[in-house]
Structure 1
Amino acid sequence: MISAEKHASASTIGLAVMPVVFVALWSTGFIGAKFGLPYAEPFTFLFIRFVLTLALLLPLVMLMRIEWPRGIRLWAHIGVTGLLVHGTYLGGVFYGIYLGMPAGLTALLVGLQPLLTAACAGPLLGERLTPRQWLGLALGLAGISLVLGSKLELGESLFQGFGLGALLCVVAALGGISLGTLYQKRFCTSMPLLSGAAIQYMSAGVLLGAGALLFETRQVAWTPTFVLTLGWLVLVLSIAAILLLMALIKRGEASRVASLFYLVPPVTALQAWWLFDERLPLLGLVGMVVAIVGVVLVIHKGTARS
């Protein structure tokens, strides 16, 4: 009896911790980009990551006997989401960091994805925004304006350290993840998570491989730092995080993951401060808090309706 109670208690604690672990792991993707990009160009880096991920993921799909999506049309829709969610999003994030944008600021900008998704959901999916969501959108925009405005210190340019090109890359990443989320919600609701992720990695790998072939030298410095970073991104983010998400969805905890995603920017900023001494002025920290509150307002309302 006592043993059963202890097992139930441990299971409950584990279930409560799993979403937090998932978000903590997810936030390290920006740090991984920062660590690995000195040794490989962005498209080349991501192409290698996806090839290695597929080399592990495809046998896993077979061993777990997970069904593949049925029908060419669904395969095509999943491929499109891969181009947007992995190809455009990760390509934009990695290139933005490669061009000098701080990892913490990058995480904050793409962390506005729920705001942009909510704004686009009306015309694309017929969903209406509530006053609470409009307030969230306004706070998100105000917050990011404060963060960018905090860079306007004495003698410092708005794009000091990274330039307009890096900002455009991250904005493209934000657009890719937002549009990809809406597209997946509209056309891929019946997608098996693990096999669907494999298809998405395939399509994104083709896109990024073409980018590496056309625009990069494809030279890689196989240093211990790069190998360890690549191993972390493949094993922990692309494989373990997906399996963890599958477990959460199976247990009905996906909504808790969605509500905790607003923690990714501050967690990333804390990691970037500790590892790379990336700092935000007080006004920038206030802006981050304001933007996160805006995201929370939008996410919580959307979660309640789902």
Structure 2
Amino acid sequence: MQLSSVPRPFDRLLLIAPFFFWGTAMVAMKGVIPHTTPLFLAGLRIGPAGFLVLAVSLLLGRSQPQGWRAWLWIVLFALVDVTLFQGFLAFGLVRTNAGLGSVMIDTQPLAVALLALWLYGERIGLWGWLGLAVGIAGISCIGLPDEWIVQLFQGHWFDGSISLSSLQWSQIFDSGQALMLVAALSMAVGTVMIRKVCEYCDPISATGWHMILGGLTLFLGSGLWESNQWTDLDSASWWLMVYAAVFGSAVAYGLFFYFASTGSLTSLSSLTFLTPVFALIFGNLALSEVLSPIQFGGVCLTLVSIYFVNQRDRLPDWERVKGVAISLPESVARLWLRDS
């Protein structure tokens, strides 16, 4: 199925589906986390989904990894993009709500832009740098304690009444938002690594295998350091995990890779901001999660920054903006003289 240039309603739903599933899967995981342990939850979400993705790759006849280089890069990819990412995500969910967690996770395009600049020399541009600046402001409003932001706007940070040593830094390092930010950085590194992985193996097969290997590592860690992983899980929790694994991982990744392979990558990148929107909406409806006014402002700034970074190649560059700024007053003057 090839999407047309003007998507039909059903095509629009399919384009939105991966981000809906990722956002609502965060809410499902948040609902389960009080009844289980973080590493077991992470492994249960990603491991079974990997087998589903691998089965699809076999049905499609995609080539499987060959040689030690392919397997080495898949193992490294699994360690960063699954074990670290999903592990920090699950631990972060223990201490923060699903909506804010999803916002922090979706800041990874900001880190990807900087990593791509450093490693591959990719252009960031005017809008990309503006997005990064707005993103830092948004993340600060979300991750820093509200009283710190209030004190900043009241000028207490500049009049000498507050010093860095007097701040309670444990409020940051012990918060779920900080763990989510580390998870986002892990995902960003994994996103940059995919280029190298695809040099040696098929991307769909590599996705399935790295989810399986990363899931096994999470289960191993759970067996070593956690206990009573499933004793408190009820039937509703198991169904939520089935949803997170099947729809939030296997189906979402499958649709995402399908649309990317059919040339819809630009459309997908512009929809990235929908994931935290869905997480915030359903987190409020299902879990009664409420944001403070400062956190809500941070969410808005972060979504704007993600849009700027994702769309930086489509937005007018500085020369075009400057040209419009110079020519607009002249055009208005000519119209006024003509009409007068």
TM-score range, shorter chain: 0.7 to 0.9
Identify if the C-alpha distance between structure 1 residues 25 and 144 changes in structure 2 by more than 3 Å, giving closer, same or farther.
Answer: same
Using the alignment, how far apart are the partners of 1:149 and 1:51 within structure 2? 33
Q: Which residue of 1 aligns with 2:338?
A: none
List alignment gaps of at least 5 residues for structure 1. Answer: 1-7
Matched, 1:295 2:315: no
Q: Which residue of 1 aligns with 2:180?
A: 170
Q: Which residue of 1 aligns with 2:163?
A: none
Using the alignment, how far apart are the partners of 2:118 and 2:278 within structure 1? 33
Alignment equivalent of 1:53, drawn from 49, 55, 58? 49
Asked whether the equivalents of residues 128 and 308 of structure 2 are also in contact (C-alpha less than 8 Å), the reply is yes
Using the alignment, how far apart are the partners of 2:5 and 2:190 within structure 1? 38
Matched, 1:260 2:271: yes
Shift of 1:85: 1.6
> Aligned residues, how many?
294
Identify if the C-alpha distance between structure 1 residues 243 and 187 changes in structure 2 by more than 3 Å, giving closer, same or farther.
Answer: closer
Matched, 1:241 2:241: no
Matched, 1:19 2:15: yes
Asked whether the equivalents of residues 197 and 203 of structure 2 are also in contact (C-alpha less than 8 Å), the reply is no
Q: Which residue of 2 aligns with 1:39?
A: 35
Asked whether the equivalents of residues 23 and 257 of structure 1 are also in contact (C-alpha less than 8 Å), the reply is no
List alignment gaps of at least 5 residues for structure 2. Answer: 151-167, 316-340
Shift of 1:277: 1.3
Asked whether the equivalents of residues 73 and 197 of structure 2 are also in contact (C-alpha less than 8 Å), the reply is yes
Identify if the C-alpha distance between structure 1 residues 132 and 208 changes in structure 2 by more than 3 Å, giving closer, same or farther.
Answer: same
Q: Which residue of 2 aligns with 1:97?
A: 93
Shift of 1:268: 0.9
Asked whether the equivalents of residues 22 and 257 of structure 1 are also in contact (C-alpha less than 8 Å), the reply is no
Identify if the C-alpha distance between structure 1 residues 120 and 64 changes in structure 2 by more than 3 Å, giving closer, same or farther.
Answer: closer
* RMSD of equivalent CA atoms: 2.9
Rg (Cα) greater in structure = 2
Identify if the C-alpha distance between structure 1 residues 248 and 279 changes in structure 2 by more than 3 Å, giving closer, same or farther.
Answer: same
Alignment equivalent of 1:179, drawn from 177, 181, 189? 189
Shift of 1:165: 5.1
Identify if the C-alpha distance between structure 1 residues 209 and 71 changes in structure 2 by more than 3 Å, giving closer, same or farther.
Answer: same
Using the alignment, how far apart are the partners of 1:243 and 1:63 within structure 2? 13
**TM-score, normalised on structure 2?**
0.77
Identify if the C-alpha distance between structure 1 residues 209 and 229 changes in structure 2 by more than 3 Å, giving closer, same or farther.
Answer: same
- The one-letter code sitting in structure 2 at the alignment partner of 1:292 is L
Percent pairwise identity: 22
**TM-score, normalised on structure 1?**
0.85
